[in-house]
Structure 1
Amino acid sequence: MPFALLLLGLAVFAQGTSEFMLSGLVPDIARDLGVSVPAAGALTSAFAVGMVVGAPLMAVLGRRWSRRGALLAFLLAFLAVHAVGALTDSFAVLLATRVAGALANAGFLAVALVTAVGMVPPDAKGRATSMLLGGVTLACVIGVPAGALLGQVWGWRSAFWAVVLLSLPAVVAVARSVPGGSADAGERPALGAELRALRSPRLRLTLLLGALVNGATFCTFTFLAPLATHVTGLGSGWVPGVLALFGAGSFIGVSVGGRLADRWPVPVLMAGGAALCAGWVALALGAGSPAGALGLVLVQGALSFGVGSTLISQVLYAAPGAPTLAGGFATAAFNVGAALGPWAGGTAIGAGLGYRSPLWVSAGLVALCLATAAVGFRRREAALVR
């Protein structure tokens, strides 16, 4: 794999730390800014909404720039809004910075996905995607627990400043590693042709499955800290370790999924999806046992990101006629799930169903994903027979 791809992963690590770190900071933010825990959890949904809206729009905008220019512009904007978020005392302003940061993140990731798959042979999209998303999983392993630890020691604002500092070397890395030419403008299909290529039934099905799986992941991940302290009975000092366990699992899942996704995508998705659904049920039932809960957090991180990264690579395989927009629509679809998942989990908690309820919601979303995939595959086979 090209060294430049690793450097793109560094930038994704900085942005992934910001996207996920609120999982360990939600209680502190809620207390400091005078809002409820479900309301503070909406900061994750706000980020996801910005990603949903921004990914296709920023992908279109990025067509006008060189890839290096687009990546740098998005990364610098991301850095700036985090500085504002670290300084504000207003929940409304913090919410706005999350949306603005998400727009920048969406643009960066959409361009980075296309840049990454352009660096490897056509049959290695899964491995390229997994290496890029390795930055996200390392954010779970290192960045998110570190952010939670910083929040406990110096307050949640210190975690935002850490993201600013983390983004600075990423700016240098992108400036030095990504070519600064015309972004292959002469080789791109017209915008209308790319949009028509996105109408593929296979692509629409894959995007829907990705949204459901990611919704399940974020539904539980957003409320993992209160689950660990209120249900499992662990002290607040355990929260960074719990988040690190989920992140370690996610890194394992992306690494293994990336190697299997190019050759056996359907078995990975169906077997992995079934195990993922069963795992959420098991965690919901066994969350009161510290040993069982910690083991399942690791397993669920691996399954969630293994299945999720495979679906991202399948989006890129399903849209060969949309080389610049496929990454944007993959990002948007997955963040539809990242927006709806925390909302659904917060709604369940707000209804008085307790901190186990997001786990049951996650299990239901994955079950719906499996049922949708089965129906879609049968229809596809029937169409081929005709």
Structure 2
Amino acid sequence: MPLPLYLLALVVFAMGTSEFMLAGLLPDIASDLGVSVGTAGTLTSAFAIGMIVGAPLVAALARNWPARGSLLGFVLVFSAAHVVGATTTSFVVLFATRVVAAVANAGFLAVALTAAAGLVPPGRKGRALAVLLSGTTVATIAGVPGGSLLGTVLGWRATFWAVAVVCLPAALGILKGIPPRAGKSDEACEPALRSEISQLRSQRLILVMLLGALVNAATLGSFTFLAPIVTDSAGMARSWISVVLVLFGAGSFVGVTLAGRLSDQRPGLVVAAGGPLLLIGWPALAVLAEHQIAFLVLVFVQGAVSFAVGSTLITRVLYEAAGAPTMAGAYATAALNVGAAVGPLIAAATLGPVGNRGPLWASGFLVLIALLAALPFRPASDGAS
């Protein structure tokens, strides 16, 4: 894989760390800025909403900009937002920086997905996206636990500073290593924006986006609420929370890596094998939570299968949106983040009626909906487009 792909993955690592790191920082942020923990929790929603709105909007605005300049600009804005966030004493300003950072994140990811696919031969999009998305999985393994530890030792602001600093070598790498129009076709050959948006009339594109959103909703719905399951249902000490998060992240890295080798030529195989495993796995995790060894094994397996299926579906979005070369990445990003926004909300709604294991049952239900929606299209789902 080309070196520029790994430079893009480094930025995705920083952005993934930023997106998920607030879970361990909210109490300190709330205390420092004089708001409730619930109010501080809206920072997570602000980021998700910024991602959903930002992906198509920024991609449309930046569709004729040079790819290298766009990527560099998004990284610098993202870094600057974290500098402001690290220095502000106002919750309103911090909230605004999360929205700005999310829009920059969405814009970067939308362009990077298209650029990554354009850096490799047509039949290797899946492997390229596996490298790119590995930045997110490494963020769950190292970035989020590391950020939580840094916040505990030096305060939540230190974590914001760390994310801002990590972006700087990545920005230099993009400037030096990314071709000016990576992933861009000849402007004369690019379809009009209206034509690219019209690709959303494709039933198969909408289906794949829906499936990607549902699987990601299931994944993040349970991931968000793993901590209380670890300490209450599994009966483990608080120190095991980081271990479980790392296990899930390690599984996700394995899943993305393995799926990257199959998602171009055999996407149907990945979804057909992984979908039922997810459907069984999430309820099994709920039932077996009290059995600690089984719980730890299943956390790793669910991380692997969730990201294998999810990354394959996002790869299929790029294939199905081949007629929208500058907007395909935005469609993939929007699908991911609709799931990221909706999944935790659905999972949270189950906590009262069902208890700590409710999110696991909700994840199984979301996967069931995805599998039922995919059934009519199953015969045509395999093979690369």
TM-score by length of 2: 0.92
Matches of 1:117 and 1:337, distance apart in 2: 22
Residue number in structure 2 paired with 1:190: 192
The one of 302, 322, 325 equivalent to 1:323 is 325
1:113 counterpart letter in structure 2: L
Larger deviation, residues 25-34 vs 308-317 = 25-34
Residue number in structure 1 paired with 2:141: 141
Q: Does the CA-based 8 Å contact 1:253-1:303 persist in structure 2? A: yes
Q: Flag structure 1 segments of 5+ consecutive residues without an equivalent.
A: 382-386
Residue number in structure 2 paired with 1:231: 233
2:255 counterpart letter in structure 1: G
Residue number in structure 2 paired with 1:374: 375
- Output one character per residue of 1:43-71: Cα deviation in whole Å (capped at 9) or x when no partner: 33321211111001111111131101111
Larger deviation, residues 204-213 vs 154-163 = 154-163
Matched length: 379
Residue number in structure 1 paired with 2:260: 258
- Alpha carbons of 1:39 and 1:291: their partners in 2 closer, same or farther (altered >3 Å)? farther
Q: Cα offset for 1:352? A: 5.4
The one of 287, 293, 296 equivalent to 1:294 is 296
Matches of 1:359 and 1:41, distance apart in 2: 21
- Alpha carbons of 1:270 and 1:26: their partners in 2 closer, same or farther (altered >3 Å)? farther
- Alpha carbons of 1:42 and 1:210: their partners in 2 closer, same or farther (altered >3 Å)? farther
Residue number in structure 2 paired with 1:357: 358
- Map residues 74-223 of structure 1 onto 2, 5 A cutoff: 74-181=74-181, 183=184, 184-223=186-225
Q: Cα offset for 1:34? A: 6.1
Q: Cα offset for 1:27? A: 5.0
Matches of 1:122 and 1:247, distance apart in 2: 29
Larger deviation, residues 294-303 vs 247-256 = 294-303
Residue number in structure 2 paired with 1:335: 337
Q: Does the CA-based 8 Å contact 1:22-1:222 persist in structure 2? A: no
Q: Cα offset for 1:29? A: 4.3
Larger deviation, residues 108-117 vs 28-37 = 28-37
- Alpha carbons of 1:51 and 1:127: their partners in 2 closer, same or farther (altered >3 Å)? same
Matches of 2:193 and 2:255, distance apart in 1: 34
- Alpha carbons of 1:156 and 1:133: their partners in 2 closer, same or farther (altered >3 Å)? same
Matches of 2:192 and 2:225, distance apart in 1: 43
Matches of 2:285 and 2:36, distance apart in 1: 25
Matches of 1:248 and 1:24, distance apart in 2: 19
- Output one character per residue of 1:89-130: Cα deviation in whole Å (capped at 9) or x when no partner: 444443332222110000000000111111111111111111
Matches of 2:189 and 2:140, distance apart in 1: 36
Matches of 1:254 and 1:284, distance apart in 2: 24
Q: Cα offset for 1:35? A: 5.9
SS at match of 1:262: coil
SS at match of 1:101: helix
1:112 counterpart letter in structure 2: A
Q: Does the CA-based 8 Å contact 1:213-1:369 persist in structure 2? A: yes
Identity, % of aligned positions: 56
Residue number in structure 1 paired with 2:46: 46
Residue number in structure 2 paired with 1:384: none
Matches of 1:25 and 1:230, distance apart in 2: 20
Q: Cα offset for 1:88? A: 3.5
1:368 counterpart letter in structure 2: I
Q: Flag structure 2 segments of 5+ consecutive residues without an equivalent.
A: none
- Map residues 19-30 of structure 1 onto 2, 5 A cutoff: 19-29=19-29
Q: Cα offset for 1:237? A: 2.4
2:115 counterpart letter in structure 1: T
- Alpha carbons of 1:335 and 1:181: their partners in 2 closer, same or farther (altered >3 Å)? closer
Q: Does the CA-based 8 Å contact 1:219-1:341 persist in structure 2? A: yes
Q: Does the CA-based 8 Å contact 1:23-1:225 persist in structure 2? A: no
Q: Does the CA-based 8 Å contact 1:109-1:327 persist in structure 2? A: yes
- Output one character per residue of 1:203-259: Cα deviation in whole Å (capped at 9) or x when no partner: 010000011001111111112223222332333322222211111011000000110
Matches of 1:236 and 1:87, distance apart in 2: 30
1:69 counterpart letter in structure 2: G
Q: Does the CA-based 8 Å contact 1:41-1:342 persist in structure 2? A: no
Q: Does the CA-based 8 Å contact 1:84-1:97 persist in structure 2? A: yes
1:160 counterpart letter in structure 2: F
SS at match of 2:277: helix
- Alpha carbons of 1:57 and 1:187: their partners in 2 closer, same or farther (altered >3 Å)? same
Matches of 1:363 and 1:32, distance apart in 2: 38
2:284 counterpart letter in structure 1: A
SS at match of 2:23: helix
SS at match of 2:205: helix
Matches of 2:33 and 2:314, distance apart in 1: 36
SS at match of 1:260: coil
Residue number in structure 1 paired with 2:248: 246
1:371 counterpart letter in structure 2: L
- Output one character per residue of 1:252-289: Cα deviation in whole Å (capped at 9) or x when no partner: 00000110111211121122011012111111112233
